[in-house]
Amino acid sequence: MSGNVEVFYALDLDRTLLDTVALAETYREAVDIYDPVLAALLREKVDESVRIEQSFSMRDFVVDQEGEPIAQIIERTFLELASLKDGLLNPGAREILSYVAEDPNASAGILTYGSILGQATKIAAVGLGHIPHLITQQKHKGELISTWKQETGGYLLPQELGGLATRELVFVDDKALSFQGLPRDVVGYWIKGPYATGGDILPSNVLPVASLDEVYQSELDRRSVISINKA
């Protein structure tokens, strides 16, 4: 894919597009079919990662415990279970993705941190494999985004996100540290989770919100104003 768009939405996966807790429970169900003891241990690890807000790859955990062949068997069961469930995406996820898909001047991609195979499995499980995605090992995504900035203005996206040139970039994430190094002309939304503290520091161009649904509503309003001003 190549070309130009007016605005590109770089959307985080876990706790942003994805109801990570619900998906983790679905994966645990798949593990439970194979080995209930392993499933109980996995639940403990997931609960701990949620509590301390650290990334945790369920798939990598299974590989460490049982090996890759067993992880693949569990993964197939997991994908089957996930295909039967609704509600694995957070409120606002489908709306903002549909909104972008219907706008010829906009595009979107997933910018997520974590295990490559683990994150790819999650993306496939919720039916978002058709959306361009970049799985990075850089926690400070703002610094990564800054490398896409062009001297002539705008941003040139990496090939994993479509290789598009965009005049404007919107970045949505649930971790405050993800915005470190974010260029000031990027529109940022921080989905403030239950474990956020008063000490979280955000760039001035990042707006704290309660949910992705609030991001969707905000973008409808913001881009409507931009359209009116252009008219």
Residue positions counted in the chain: 231
Exposure string over 155-189, b if 16+ CB within 10 A, otherwise e = bebbeebbebbbebbbbbbbbbebbbebbeebbbb
pLDDT tens digit sequence for 38-49: 999 999 988 888
Least confident of 17-26, 56-65, 173-182, 217-226: 217-226
User: What was the pLDDT predicted at 200?
Assistant: 76
Reply yes or no on whether the pLDDT at 20 is more than 80.
Answer: yes
Instruction: Specify the DSSP class assigned to residue 206.
Output: E
pLDDT tens digit sequence for 113-122: 999 999 999 9
- Domain positions in the chain are 4-18+89-230, 20-83
| Mean pLDDT, the chain, whole residue set | 92
Reply yes or no on whether the pLDDT at 101 is more than 80.
Answer: yes
> How far apart are alpha carbons 74 and 58 in whole angstroms?
11
User: Quick one: average pLDDT of 204-223?
Assistant: 93
User: What was the pLDDT predicted at 50?
Assistant: 74
Q: Any residues with CB less than 8 A from the CB of 65 and at least 6 apart, and which?
A: 38, 41
- C-alpha distances (whole Å) from 166 to each of 2, 8, 107, 141 are 11, 6, 9, 18
Residue 85: CB atoms within 10 Å: 14
Strands 165-173 and 155-156 come out as antiparallel
Q: What percent of the chain has pLDDT over 90?
A: 83
pLDDT tens digit sequence for 60-100: 999 999 999 999 999 999 999 999 998 899 999 999 999 99
User: What was the pLDDT predicted at 229?
Assistant: 58
Reply yes or no on whether the pLDDT at 228 is more than 60.
Answer: no
User: What was the pLDDT predicted at 227?
Assistant: 62
- C-alpha distances (whole Å) from 34 to each of 21, 73, 75, 126, 166 are 20, 9, 11, 22, 46
This prediction has a pTM of: 0.92
- CB neighbour class for 6 (10 Å; exposed up to 12, middle 13-18, buried from 19): middle
Q: What is the DSSP string of 178-193?
A: GGTT--TTSEEEEE--
User: What was the pLDDT predicted at 157?
Assistant: 97
* Identity of residue 207: L
In this structure, CATH architecture of domain 4-18+89-230: 3-Layer(aba) Sandwich (3.40)
- SS3 at position 109: strand
User: What was the pLDDT predicted at 51?
Assistant: 78
- Round to the nearest angstrom and report the end-to-end CA distance of the chain: 30
User: What was the pLDDT predicted at 54?
Assistant: 76
CA nearest neighbour of 81 among 159, 23, 42: 23
Reply yes or no on whether the pLDDT at 14 is more than 90.
Answer: yes
Reply yes or no on whether the pLDDT at 52 is more than 60.
Answer: yes
User: What was the pLDDT predicted at 160?
Assistant: 97
Q: Which residue has the tokens 């001047």?
A: 105
- C-alpha distances (whole Å) from 86 to each of 9, 125, 196 are 24, 11, 27
Reply yes or no on whether the pLDDT at 183 is more than 80.
Answer: yes
Residue 197's pLDDT band (boundaries 50, 70, 90)?
low
